[in-house]
Structures are given as structure tokens and as C-alpha cells.
């Protein structure tokens, strides 16, 4: 698909049809159908300490109530002005300080939280409150009411991941506010886990949601699963020990639009190179190391955030046992038969 030669006659023709909202395919084909992904998304790393300092400044400027959500959006340097960390996903860091209430609202966008710092602040989803701790992964399914509050004495920070650009692409954004800042709590804490977290499902009740009925995946459980897996030493050359958070009803990803993962990279491990079409946001929560993305190297520690664009070679290296949370649009790509991965020779 090579660029066609320009001639005065052709240029005149393009100009003529342009007025009728028509474009000649042969002038744009090479940019539309590329031999490989050619993303504007760039590899990048954000240091948590820097975000944290700016969030503290933001805390002096605006309350969570006035802001609705006090969040700094992580904008991919190749996609500035679009509130995107990858072409299909949004990420932000949210701060909820003691006394804050981020008021109840709901929207068609699905959201995930991954807790970075703090202990004991609450998020309420669909009538149930859950306390949040570092490393917990929490889901807000599409159109469920959610509000956040902090009755502790410490600020809380978490990573938000939403499918905002996907929903924007499909033009199906719906959102609603509530008259009540905090939704009515109708279920005891731990209710969804008690019902669905024990390999038991109601025998006849069919839920219509494609999102996991468990909305909090506590880090204590996640970490135990990784630690147990570690003793079996079944290291994957590309991923170390990598697990996906799953929906107990379907075995599929926990959310229909966003795939979430946790992986353990053991001390001194260097992964074999890997690339996949799902641009991925990583958040280490334990350990230190570095990740090479193409020819760039990013040094990371707990709570830093970095993004790997589609189809770039990646290798990770851990100086000590490291745990990395990550998320991508893999569930969507797989359902559309678009997902591809390449394990090099591993």
C-alpha cells in the first residue's frame, strides 16, 4: 500500500470531491490498513511520588464534593487532550482525604480501582460498602451507583481504570447524579464475597450482568494465590506467574471491557520478550525493577504507573520479588477475534 503519485489533475479532483465530503481511498489507505499496529500511544512511566505531591496540592484547591471526583488523569504523551492512557482506556489517580465524600453517581462506563495507599476508606457499590486496603482490586460495573468516602485519619489514593474511550467510540455514554451524596446501604459489608466468593453459585438465579458479582478482590487473597503458586515454581518465561482476575459465574475476565491481571516476578528474574495487541497499564505494588519497552527502559517501584502500547516488545526485570497489577482491553479484542500475541521464541 504505497502512496500514489500526485499530479495536478489528481489534486484538482481531490479538491473537487472534498466539497462533497468525499475522499479518495487511495490517498489514505496506507494510514488506515497498516501491516502492523501503528499507535499514537507512547510508552511512559509516571512516578507515584510526583502524582502524590500534585494531588496534595489539588486537595487544597478543591473538595471531592465540588470536583465530583478529585482525580488527576494520566494522559498518554502521544494522546494529550483526550484523557486516554491508551487508545481505548482511561486511567487516573484519585485522592479521598479524611472527611471527603465523592458523591453517588452512575454511568455506562465500567470502572476499576486499584488501591495504592491508605487503609480503611470506603467505596459503596450497588448498596454495599467495602473497606479499601493497599493492593485491593475493586469493580464498579456499568450503571451501578457508586460513591466514595474516607472516615479514617489518612488520605487514600487509588488508581482508576475506566473504559471511557471505548464508550466514547461507540457513542453510548449515559450518566446520572443522585440527590443523596451517599447511596443507601442495603447489604452488609462482604455480602457479594459471601455469596459468590466460595465456589458456590445460586442454583437457579441467572444474573444479566456480564461483570463479576464479586466487587472487591482483597489483596490478602491475591497475594496468597501468588505465594502458593510460587512454591510450585511454574514460571512462565514471559510473565513470571501471571493470573487474571475472573468472574466466578463465567470464568471470563472480571469485567466485560477491561481485563485485569496480577503477576509475580521473582527476585533476579528477567522475562523473555513478549508483545501483544492489547496496550497495557501496569502498576507495581511490591518490589523494584525495570521494564524495557522497545528501546526505552523504565525503572519502577511500588505505586508507579507505566503504559505499554500495542505490539511493542516488552521485558521485565525484578531486583526483588515484585508484584504487578495490570489492565488492558483484552476481553474486547478477544471477543472480536482481534487479539494477537507474540512470545518471541519463548
Site for ligand GTQ in 285-344 (CB under 6 A): none
For ligand GTQ, the closer CB: 80 or 335: 80
Among 111, 226, 241, 258, binds ligand GTQ (CB under 6 A): 111
Contact flag: residue 69 with ligand GTQ (CB under 6 A): yes
Contact flag: residue 241 with ligand GTQ (CB under 6 A): no
Shortest Cβ distance from residue 202 to ligand GTQ (Å)?
Answer: 28
CA distance 124 to 131: 9
Contact flag: residue 162 with ligand GTQ (CB under 6 A): yes
Shortest Cβ distance from residue 265 to ligand GTQ (Å)?
Answer: 27
Contact 323, 284 (CB under 8 A): yes
Closest residue to ligand GTQ, judged by C-beta, is 160
CA distance 29 to 4: 10
String of contacts with ligand GTQ for each residue 70-99, x by CB under 6 A: -x--------------------x-x-----
For ligand GTQ, the closer CB: 146 or 239: 146
Cell of 89: 482506556
Element (H, E) at 15: helix 8-18
Contact flag: residue 163 with ligand GTQ (CB under 6 A): no
Residue 280, strand partner residues? 308, 328
Cell of 80: 494529550
For ligand GTQ, the closer CB: 131 or 201: 131
Location of C-alpha cell 466460595: 198
Nearest alpha carbon to residue 92 among 112, 109, 106 = 112
Contact flag: residue 160 with ligand GTQ (CB under 6 A): yes
CA distance 316 to 289: 7
- Three-state SS string across 145-214, please? CEEEECCCCCCEEEEEEECHHHHHHHCCCCEEECCCCCCCCCCCCCHHHHHHCCCCCCCCCCCCCCCCCC
Contact flag: residue 159 with ligand GTQ (CB under 6 A): no
For ligand GTQ, the closer CB: 101 or 237: 101
**Coil, helix or strand at residue 288:** coil
Shortest Cβ distance from residue 106 to ligand GTQ (Å)?
Answer: 9
For ligand GTQ, the closer CB: 85 or 111: 111
For ligand GTQ, the closer CB: 146 or 330: 146
Q: What share of the chain is helix, strand, coil (3-state, %, to 5)?
A: 20, 35, 45
Site for ligand GTQ in 196-215 (CB under 6 A): none
**Coil, helix or strand at residue 59:** helix
Shortest Cβ distance from residue 322 to ligand GTQ (Å)?
Answer: 26
Shortest Cβ distance from residue 69 to ligand GTQ (Å)?
Answer: 4
Cell of 146: 457508586
For ligand GTQ, the closer CB: 157 or 217: 157
Residue 274 DSSP code: B
Shortest Cβ distance from residue 144 to ligand GTQ (Å)?
Answer: 10
Contact flag: residue 146 with ligand GTQ (CB under 6 A): yes
Contact 280, 260 (CB under 8 A): no
Residues that bind ligand GTQ (CB under 6 A): 69, 71, 92, 94, 111, 146, 160, 162
Amino acid at each position: 500500500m504505497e502512496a500514489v503519485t500526485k499530479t495536478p489533475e489528481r489534486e484538482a479532483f481531490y479538491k473537487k470531491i472534498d466539497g462533497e465530503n468525499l475522499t479518495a481511498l487511495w490517498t489514505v489507505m496506507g494510514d488506515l490498513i497498516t501491516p502492523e499496529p501503528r499507535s499514537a500511544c507512547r510508552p511512559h512511566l509516571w512516578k507515584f511520588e510526583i502524582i502524590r505531591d500534585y494531588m496534595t496540592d489539588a486537595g487544597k484547591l478543591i473538595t471531592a464534593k465540588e470536583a465530583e471526583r478529585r482525580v488527576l488523569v494520566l494522559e498518554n504523551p502521544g494522546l494529550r487532550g483526550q484523557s486516554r492512557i491508551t487508545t481505548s482506556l482511561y486511567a487516573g489517580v484519585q485522592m479521598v482525604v479524611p472527611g471527603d465524600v465523592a458523591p453517588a453517581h452512575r454511568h455506562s462506563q465500567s470502572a476499576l480501582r486499584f488501591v495504592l495507599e491508605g487503609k480503611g476508606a470506603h467505596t459503596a457499590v450497588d448498596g454495599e460498602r467495602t473497606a479499601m486496603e493497599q493492593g485491593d482490586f475493586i469493580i464498579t460495573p456499568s450503571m451501578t451507583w457508586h460513591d466514595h468516602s474516607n472516615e479514617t485519619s489518612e488520605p487514600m489514593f487509588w488508581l482508576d481504570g475506566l473504559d471511557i474511550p471505548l464508550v466514547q467510540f461507540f457513542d453510548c455514554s449515559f450518566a446520572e447524579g443522585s440527590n443523596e451524596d451517599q447511596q443507601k446501604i442495603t447489604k452488609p459489608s462482604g455480602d457479594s464475597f459471601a455469596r459468590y466468593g466460595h465456589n458456590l453459585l445460586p442454583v437457579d438465579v441467572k444474573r444479566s450482568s456480564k461483570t463479576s458479582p464479586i466487587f472487591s478482590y482483597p489483596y490478602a487473597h491475591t497475594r496468597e494465590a501468588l505465594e502458593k503458586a510460587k512454591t510450585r515454581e511454574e514460571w512462565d518465561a514471559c510473565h513470571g506467574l501471571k493470573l487474571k482476575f475472573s468472574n466466578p459465574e463465567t470464568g471470563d475476565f472480571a469485567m466485560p471491557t477491561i481485563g485485569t491481571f496480577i503477576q509475580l516476578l521473582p527476585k533476579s528474574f528477567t522475562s523473555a520478550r513478549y508483545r501483544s495487541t492489547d496496550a497495557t497499564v501496569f502498576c507495581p505494588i511490591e518490589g523494584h525493577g525495570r521494564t524495557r519497552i522497545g528501546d526505552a527502559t523504565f525503572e519502577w517501584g511500588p505505586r508507579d504507573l507505566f503504559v505499554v502500547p500495542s505490539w511493542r516488545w516488552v521485558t521485565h526485570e525484578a531486583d526483588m520479588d515484585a508484584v504487578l497489577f495490570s489492565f488492558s482491553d483484552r476481553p474486547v479484542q478477544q471477543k472480536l477475534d482481534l487479539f494477537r500475541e507474540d512470545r518471541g521464541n519463548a
